Amino acid sequence: MSAITILEPLTFEEESERLRLERQVERAFYQAGLALKALRDQQLYRATHHNFKDYCKERFGFGKSAVYYLISAVDIVDNLKKCPPLVDTFPTSERQVRSLKQLEASQQRKAWAEAVEKAKGVPTAKIVEEVVNQLKNKSNDSNKDLEKQRMVDKNGKVSTLSEGINYVPGVGIEWYIRVDEETCNKLNRYAEKIGTVTLGSAISLLLESLD
């Protein structure tokens, strides 16, 4: 027979301290990402290192991927704070939000809310990834249906886009540009690498990186 363990209750002060320390542990990855982002943006590494990558490797033992994931997690968590008040459960590790970066901001919030509901609490990285994949599949199906609609006008005729700005009935204004096969393959590889839902999203991110 196993021994019976009597749990000792905490005082009000001890309970408050426990909650405070738990919050510190939960937010550790977020605080680390904030600090790394500030170090990078303000170039506070420049007195000892020529670049941020070498600084993080020598100072913290962080590889490029680890630094990138932590900094990306900051923006994702900030976005999740915009979830409806009913969703008051937030990530406790970077790994839980890593797959969310594949989605647009509004979809990130939706995916997190669904993952919390599915887990009945803080979801594991696996649960979040499953929800993300489900949303991506739905989005891909919607995009395929939209492409079909773009190819046929209201009279049932196949529409042809000319290079430049086009108005597509039922869709709106579109920009169409002709690229060679090599460029197309590069764009698709870029979209796959950063994990965006659509090629259009990948191109938008690429253009934003030029600012």
pLDDT band at 51 (very low <50, low <70, confident <90, very high): very high
Among 4-8, 62-66, 108-112, 158-162, the range scoring the smallest mean pLDDT is: 158-162
Task: For 96, list phi and psi in degrees, rounded to 5.
Answer: -65, -25
pLDDT of residue 10: 87
User: For the chain, which residues make up each domain, given as ranges?
Assistant: 9-80, 85-158
pLDDT score for 83: 74
Please indicate whether residue 65 or residue 180 has the higher confidence score (pLDDT): 65
State how far the Cα of 182 lies from the Cα of 163, in Å rounded to an integer: 18
- What average pLDDT does the structure give for the chain? 80
Backbone angles phi, psi at 103, to 5 degrees: -110, 160
CA dist 211 and 206 (Å) reads 10
pTM for the full predicted model: 0.60
Instruction: Say which residue the tokens 């460029």 belong to.
Output: 183
- Tell me the C-alpha to C-alpha distance, in Å, between residue 195 and each of 76, 99, 139, 169, 199: 15, 9, 13, 30, 10
Conformational region of residue 164, where left means phi above 0, alpha means psi within -120 to 50, and beta covers everything else? left
